[in-house]
Amino acid sequence: MTPVKGGYAVDVPVINVSDRARREQASVFSTFKAFGVTFRRMFRSLFKGDMPTISYPEQQRPYSERFRGTHILTVRNDGSLKCVACYMCATICPAECIYIEAGEHPNPEIEKFPQRFDIDMMRCIYCGFCVDACPEEAIVMSREHHQAVYNRSDTIYNIEKLMQRPGIAAKGPGYRPNVPFAEARIFDPATQKECPFPSVVDERHPAVLYESQINKRH
């Protein structure tokens, strides 16, 4: 062990690959030696069942609950959206990929709710800042990581897609402030047919968000 500032470091041998390549001449023997490693792994996989490879997508690696995947909008106990359209997540987002339109909530105890909540997943950098900034535990991350689509518009997730989609139940929640949830829960379509206050906007907004800010740059 070598003492260093702040603790101890383990002595690790350093190999100069370029210098070693110049000293060692390639030969037929070295070629077969390299193939030997490949065949050894192949026979171990065939006969011993030692298969470190995951056959994706039939098999998928389990991810940690801290994994920062596709977002989830949570709901209250009555199934309504937990989001109060405070714009905290949209303000802190460094990629400017969150678009919110607020509406007056029918419940006088709740000031606002999102009539429209879209996230452009092609612009999202999955930093988790929106989760940290949210005061209502209304947006969390999931362990869903694959987003294969055929159209650019399909990468813009609206309220319904952020609230319920097959990947949420299959992967489960990921990065979030409270484990378990303190005041929120994930929408369960098995026990509830629809959200009391879903998105009221049918059409999708354009891929370029925050048009007012972009116009200012011109």
What the chain holds in terms of domains, given with CATH numbers, is 71-210 (3.30.70.3270)
Q: If we measure between CA atoms, which residue out of 135, 137, 118, 123 comes closest to residue 181?
A: 137
Residue 127 three-state SS: coil
pTM of the model: 0.67
Write down the H helix ranges in 1-72. Answer: 17-23, 28-47
Whether 97 has a pLDDT exceeding 90, the answer reads: yes
Tokens matching residue 93: 């987002």
Rg (CA), the chain: 25
The pLDDT of residue 133: 94
* Whole-angstrom distance, CA of residue 149 vs CA of residue 155: 7
Whether 9 has a pLDDT exceeding 60, the answer reads: no
**Which residues does residue 72 pair with via DSSP β-bridges, in sequence order?**
140
Least confident range of 23-32, 37-46, 154-163, 164-173? 23-32
How far is the first Cα of the chain from the last one, in angstroms, to the nearest whole number? Answer: 59
- At 209, the pLDDT band (50, 70, 90 cuts) reads very low
Q: In this structure, what is the dihedral angle of CA atoms 163, 81, 99, 90, given to the nearest 10 degrees?
A: -110
More confident call, 67 vs 106: 67
